[in-house]
Structure 1
């Protein structure tokens, strides 16, 4: 006779796994189905991870028929939300107007069933959009589950507490420190940030494996490298723990230092043959970079200046123009003085203003940046600022003045022997010539620039 033994929440008695192994050896026709937040680690065990519920894409263009009540109901997370909302509000329906908010609620809650159920119970008093607006602090919002549920399932925080309490102290330390990452991390990144001073005193590999096994950390392969992440709700919980521990300042500083090293390493590669790979790398880590910039606003302005200044070409090439300008102007405004790092940010802010058609602001930024570069004798950056200032003037129809600054910049570039910058300047001289209807001269400049670009 074949029999199935179902064991729920086995993580609470995981030390009894050896008894299950003995039972299976004694009963060849017995099968055991165990739900657990951590593997049993017995021979013959087959792990079947239970993923979050399927989520809709937030881009309406990725959903056949757009984001409507009908199209959203095919996704398990939304279907659960609708069911639980109707439990407290029987006439609840999803309209074309509320569909985007409901989709975003489910995505913000990572497709976690308990989180979705707790959120849906608020529909009795809140519209979907009002509920979405209050999800900035998920853990405080998501409570008040059914009284007949176990206490651990009545609030989202209690549920995560249940898993957190299973960890040993070393894993708890690692868990809270990893919350500094936004959008994921690799093993090497964790080693560089959470153990930056080399005094963590734990086996990082073992404790990271423990977090994965306890379903608190997820892992997936990206570009041939294993990448780890925390669901947003889990990260919020862990970050609260980091704040309470008093380690937040130290870990955030290490995280910002890592991001600075990354962007400054990438910066020179964005104008060469490795450009595509580095752009992809920066895009992959953009969540971390944003978090570092946000922390630097109030904790480390100089580091924020250097990070934002190094990101100029990335923002330009990956169409983050408006966001890039906001970051650059934020740090330029918050900081003072005539430092090179601030001048570099002003120069980049001018370029972003140029791209958005704000040529007067661009000119003002470039003029201040040029003066500081001259003060420091930084000829390479002087050449770049001269080029940028010239183009801002040309867009304001001041062609003769623009050509004067460009030619001055070209002389500097040739002294420095920078072929990419020389080619860029030639291209800009060609543009100005064509703006003035001197097409033959413009063609000559552009042809020379093209030849140089091809040789780089």
Structure 2
């Protein structure tokens, strides 16, 4: 019997030489190297084309032990019985005895320190797991780096899920590979967009780089809907399964059972992330019982067809766009795409309905996070519903039901887009269209776009009267009152808002909209000089909000209460209320609530003697307004605090210094601006010769006390 410990096997393994530069992955490489140092079995998992093999080879070269690192390419092996033979062959071993290949391996590994890289094992997982378990048990000097789309599920295994490249690394890879062909990766903006569309998949990016000799990144972007035909033609010496994107993804598809392929195809209807309940409803039935979806989904997750993510709304699953596109082709081929698409639409219409009802509750924060997470799917549902004439009323209903998100969570522009599409359609479902009309009017008001707002609300009111729809009439009247408020017609605003509140009471309506009508009535009273009535109305709103756990409408009540406190020279009280208000608005991403708070907080800051800091906050507000609409609605009443603050700051700082501080504020991002506004300035310092020139810090000057009369201000 030959002693295989002293054969002529190469000492340092068979790792392939890298034909081109290794780009990016420095963090993953370091982390994988540490994992190999701490565990005898590490399995790199991830989707096809994500770069598992290349990273594994680089890590193996870095961590190769005394007797070398050996790579075994298992993709060509079809019969599980030949797994052991493939390992023996890759290690260059020969044995003419009657021993099994496993015994041959164990004899060779005895006393040696070896790293074995098993690449592409997913179709042979049971045979590989059995072999690895046996080798690790009997060869203490062995470490194994497995590379595949699922775990081996062997005791002691450390999983290393490999994500796609981040945008910077993806662009760097595109540029390097383009440069190797003496072509340009083109405009940076287009290159980044291309890498995003390709999910940061290294294989897809390398194949795209191969097309840059013929097409620009912009042209590639235009053709990506047919990505599987476009991205072909990898290097001749590449692994067969890596030569085209379709083949790389198809390799995973071949390994799936019939049920797994069916679920993969149906899951392609989702855009972005989805949860288990949605998958069960949308994908269950017609050959795949809803009760089986969890098990089949788990299998796809184990094979890296899906990834699992923790979000603010809980656990979600997602497919890379490239994997989804492959599944979508199969879904079309099954002839089931329309049915699954309708189920997807119905699920998200139902979800939006539930979220709207639950908005008026202590779960507002959860609802905001849920809708934010589900937004890509809600968009897809809107697209599908509004494109089908017979189902367009569902799109109208969906666009209107999401009013709380468009208005309360910083999505005015997007909401306007969907609502304008919705109201143009005559679906024969009047109530759905009426809802979309008043929500459109509301959104346009908040953007300061008064003419379209008035047109939508007038049409809503006329149709509501014709159809005797008390609810739509109340909402139309309410929002018309809101329009009068922001256009400085306070008597009309008060009349309409009081009437709307009466109508809400008659039909038993109590929700965030109703509370907002009361806050808006309070604003109208405050602007007309009746601060006690404004305070009474908003204290009532605050009490109801606290009873129901409502936080969004509460922030606007706090704004009015802060305005009243400032008007009464209660600066500490005004700051405390505005701090609470700004925190609440920012948490919901309510840009309007946040910027109104910031404007009033700037005035309070100036009154406290911090003119420079007030100017910075005004600059920050100036930067935020374009994301909302017309600054301060073009309203003289809403603009009064801004005008007074600017006048005081300029008086104390001088025009040049004021503009310098204001420009500093315009450079602040939204989060940074809010953090700064919430940080209470220190006590104002006496004004001295060098105070105005203090760079980078607020200048602290005492402010002259304003003269106030019934909410009107004069410097």
In the superposition, the TM-score normalised over structure 1's length comes to 0.86
Q: Does 1:253 align with 2:364?
A: no
Question: Out of 499, 503, 519, which is 1:427 matched to?
Answer: 519
**Within 5 Å, which residues of 2 pair with 1:357-372?**
357-372=448-463
Number of the residue aligned with 1:80: 173
Contact persistence 1:426–1:445 (CA under 8 A): no
Question: Matched residue of 1:319: which SS?
Answer: coil
* Partner of residue 401, structure 2: 310
RMSD, aligned α-carbons: 2.6
**Aligned-partner SS, 2:317:** strand
CA contact (8 A) 2:403 2:439 kept: yes
Q: Which residue of 1 aligns with 2:599?
A: none
Q: Secondary structure at the match of 1:35?
A: strand
Cα distance in 1 for partners of 2:269, 2:499 equals 46
3-state secondary structure, aligned to 2:159:
coil
Q: How far apart are the structure 2 equivalents of 1:258 and 1:127?
A: 40
Task: Give 1:395 shift.
Answer: 4.7
Correspondence for 1:104 among 193, 206, 221: 193
Evaluate the alpha carbon distance shift between residue 449 and residue 89 of structure 1 in structure 2; reply closer, same or farther with a 3 A threshold.
Answer: farther
Aligned to 1:63: none
Q: Per the alignment, do residues 128 and 312 of structure 1 end up closer, same or farther by CA in structure 2, a change over 3 Å counting?
A: same
- 217-226 or 337-346: which moved more? 217-226
Q: Do 2:309 and 2:317's aligned partners in 1 also have CA atoms closer than 8 Å?
A: yes
Matched, 1:200 2:289: yes
Distance 1:228 1:127, change over 3 A: same
**Within the alignment, does 1:156 sit opposite 2:245 as a pair?**
yes
249 and 338 in structure 1: CA distance in 2 versus 1, 3 angstrom threshold: closer
Q: How many angstroms does 1:2 deviate by?
A: 2.0
What residue number does 1:66 align with? none
- Note closer, same or farther for the CA distance 1:400–1:2 as it changes in structure 2 (3 Å cut): closer
**In 1: Cα distance, 2:119 partner to 2:356 partner:** 52
Q: CA deviation at 1:393?
A: 4.3
**Relative to 1, partners in 2 of residues 1:439 and 1:377: Cα closer, same or farther, differing over 3 Å?**
same
Q: Distance in 2 between matches of 1:369 and 1:196?
A: 41
Q: 2:482, 2:215 → 1: CA distance?
A: 52
CA drift of 1:106 comes to 2.0
Q: CA deviation at 1:79?
A: 2.4
The residue correspondences of 1:31-180 to structure 2 (distance < 5 A) are: 31-53=143-165, 55-56=166-167, 75-89=168-182, 92=184, 98-180=187-269
Are 2:457 and 2:479, in contact at CA under 8 Å, matched by a contact in 1?
yes
1:265–1:254 Cα change, 3 Å: same
SS of 2:263 mapped into structure 1: helix
Aligned equivalent of 1:449, options 537, 550, 555:
537
Provide the C-alpha distance between the structure 2 equivalents of 1:445 and 1:137, rounded to a whole number of angstroms.
Answer: 63
Residue ranges of structure 2 left out of the alignment (5+ in a row):
1-111, 545-715
**CA shift in 2, pair 1:237/1:49, >3 Å:** same
Question: Of 298, 306, 315, which residue of structure 2 is paired with 1:217?
Answer: 306
Of 262-271 and 6-15, more deviation after overlay is shown by 6-15
- Give the direction of change, closer, same or farther, for the CA distance of 1:416–1:449 in structure 2 (3 Å limit): farther
The CA distance in 2 between the partners of 1:432 and 1:50, in whole Å, is 57
Q: Distance between the aligned counterparts of 1:14 and 1:328, measured in 2?
A: 51
1:50-109 CA-partner distances (Å, limit 9, x unpaired): 2222x13xxxxxxxxxxxxxxxxxx4322221211112225x377xxx223222322222
Change (3 A) 1:266 1:428: same
**Worse-matched range after superposition: 363-372 or 159-168:** 363-372
Following TM superposition, by how much is the alpha carbon of 1:26 offset from its aligned partner in structure 2, in angstroms? Answer: 4.2
> Who is 1:70 aligned against?
none
1:266-322 deviation digits (Å, cap 9, x = unpaired): 113324432222111111111111111111122321221221110012111122111
Q: 1:445 Cα shift?
A: 4.2
Structure 1: stretches of 5+ with no match in the other structure: 57-74
Structure with larger Rg:
2
> Secondary structure of 1:184's match?
coil
C-alpha distance in structure 1 between counterparts of 2:496 and 2:116, whole Å: 81
Aligned length: 429
Distance in 1 separating the partners of 2:514 and 2:156: 66
Superposed counterparts of 1:377-388, under 5 Å: 377-388=468-479
* Matched-pair contact (CA < 8 Å) for 1:170–1:202: no
SS in 2 for 1:334: coil
TM-score normalised by length of structure 2: 0.56
Q: Residue 337 of structure 1 aligns with which residue?
A: 428
Instruction: Tell me if structure 2 keeps the 8 A contact 1:423–1:452.
Output: no
Aligned residues of 2:386 and 2:396 also touching (Cα < 8 A): no
Distance 2:288 2:245 in 1: 33
Q: Supply the distance in 1 between the matched residues of 2:495 and 2:156 (Cα, whole angstroms).
A: 78
CA separation of 1:389/1:159 partners in 2, compared to 1, >3 Å: closer, same or farther? same
- Cα shift at 1:191: 1.3
Match of 2:464 in 1: 373
Alpha-carbon distance in 2 for matches of 1:230, 1:93: 27
